[in-house]
């Protein structure tokens, strides 16, 4: 498999030991900082989590995030998630991926390469589902300034066990024709996309909602396989947003410009190409960073994590 041909930065392999287990991730350094890493400038970090039965290296091709990093100067970590072997996102509230991502963030922040106030996380499919778990966690929500799950729903048990009341910046991207992470969820475990969206709105105390179609229609929606609607909401006092990029007719796919095979379309459904998910996600991330309140929780959570280790 070839790397994304449009990216010009440096991709390197790294390892961490978490609870005696070797864990790995890819780190992408944008072209403006791809040399020997001697730059004193701390960069934002985006953590991009792969989906079920998807190697982390393939996530690079799927999300097309490296080019956005080159244009906007941020680092990207592509971790090897444990659910690749567990065949599903762990149902319990605590699991090895939580500790892995905590340590990954801490190690990059401690290396002076990453701005602790601008750490973000996105993911696809199972890698997106687990972002909701991270957002429910006091420790991880204190370290991650904004979340952007693509093709995901919230586990009802996680929602009932949320550990904090601090605001969470959340941008969801989901297709109405997703047959795997269904728009309507299921009766057993997963909330619908609409209920997930409303859950995070309620958590944030949202008091301003804009449901207009924010993207100009160059072609009549009736003539397109997919169309995009961005529903934005925010708490006007603290500025934290909860947004939903609703892909009408979209399948279990990451909106991108890459070529789409017939069998991929058959299994996953239509891919929206008019609005690139990674571009919209970075626009959202740029508007959020940890304030002093969250920074205090970050330091407390870091101490708690160190004691637990």
Q: pLDDT tens-digit profile of 74-108?
A: 999 999 998 755 556 777 777 889 999 999 999 99
Domain ranges of the chain: 10-35+42-308
Rounded mean pLDDT, 119-126: 96
CA distance 299 to 254: 34
Token code pair at residue 200: 């995070």
Rounded mean pLDDT, 163-183: 94
The SS3 of residue 132 is helix
The SS3 of residue 139 is helix
Higher pLDDT, 115 or 215: 115
Q: pLDDT tens-digit profile of 260-277?
A: 766 677 788 788 888 889
| Best CA proximity match to 196, nearest among 216, 214, 177, 182 | 182
Measure Cα distances from 122 to 27, 209, 212 in Å: 15, 23, 24
* pLDDT value at 199 more than 50: yes
Q: How many helices (H) and strands (E) does the chain have?
A: 11, 10
Quote the radius of gyration of the chain (alpha carbons, Å): 18
CA distance 282 to 276: 10
Residue 163 DSSP one-character state: -
Its pTM stands at 0.87
| Residue 86 pLDDT | 57
CA distance 211 to 159: 25
Helix pair angle (126-136, 96-110), 10° resolution? 80
> How do beta strands 227-234 and 241-248 pair?
antiparallel
CA distance 181 to 184: 9
Of 2-11, 59-68, 181-190, the one with minimum mean pLDDT is: 2-11
Please count the other Cβ atoms lying within 10 Å of the Cβ belonging to residue 307: 7
Please count the other Cβ atoms lying within 10 Å of the Cβ belonging to residue 27: 19
Q: pLDDT tens-digit profile of 39-82?
A: 568 999 999 999 988 889 999 999 999 999 999 999 999 999 98
The CATH code that applies to domain 10-35+42-308 is: 3.40.50.1820
208 phi and psi angles, rounded to 5 deg: -145, 120
Which residues lie closer than 8 Å to 228 by C-beta, 6 or more apart?
215, 245, 246, 247, 248, 255, 272, 274, 275
Confidence tier at 35 by pLDDT (50, 70, 90)? low
């Amino acid at each position: 498999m070839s790397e994304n041909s449009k990216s010009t930065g440096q991709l390197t392999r790294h390892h961490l030991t978490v609870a005696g287990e070797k864990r790995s991730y890819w780190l992408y350094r944008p072209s403006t900082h791809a040399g020997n890493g001697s730059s004193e400038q701390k960069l934002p970090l985006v953590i991009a989590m792969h989906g079920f039965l998807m190697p982390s290296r393939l996530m690079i091709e799927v999300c097309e995030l490296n080019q956005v990093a080159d244009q906007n100067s941020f680092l990207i970590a592509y971790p090897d998630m444990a659910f690749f072997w567990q065949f599903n996102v762990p149902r319990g509230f605590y699991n090895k991926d939580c500790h892995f991502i905590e340590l990954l963030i801490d190690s990059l922040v401690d290396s002076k390469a990453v701005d602790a106030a601008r750490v973000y996380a996105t993911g696809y499919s199972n890698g997106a589902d687990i972002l909701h778990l991270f957002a429910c966690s006091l420790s991880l929500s204190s370290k991650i300034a904004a979340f952007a799950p693509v093709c995901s729903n919230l586990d009802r048990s996680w929602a009932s066990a949320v550990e904090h009341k601090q605001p969470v910046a959340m941008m969801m991207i989901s297709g109405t024709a997703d047959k795997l992470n269904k728009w309507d969820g299921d009766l057993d475990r997963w909330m619908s996309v609409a209920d997930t969206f409303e859950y995070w709105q309620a958590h944030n105390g949202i008091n301003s909602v804009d449901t207009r179609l924010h993207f100009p229609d160059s072609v009549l929606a009736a003539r397109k396989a997919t169309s995009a609607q961005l529903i934005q909401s925010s708490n006007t006092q603290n500025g934290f947003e909860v947004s939903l990029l609703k892909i009408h007719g979209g399948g279990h796919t990451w909106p991108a410009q890459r070529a789409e095979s017939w069998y991929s379309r058959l299994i996953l459904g239509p891919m929206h190409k008019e609005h690139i998910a990674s571009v919209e996600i970075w626009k959202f991330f740029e508007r959020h960073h940890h304030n002093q309140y969250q920074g205090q929780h970050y330091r407390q959570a870091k101490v708690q994590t160190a004691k637990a280790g």
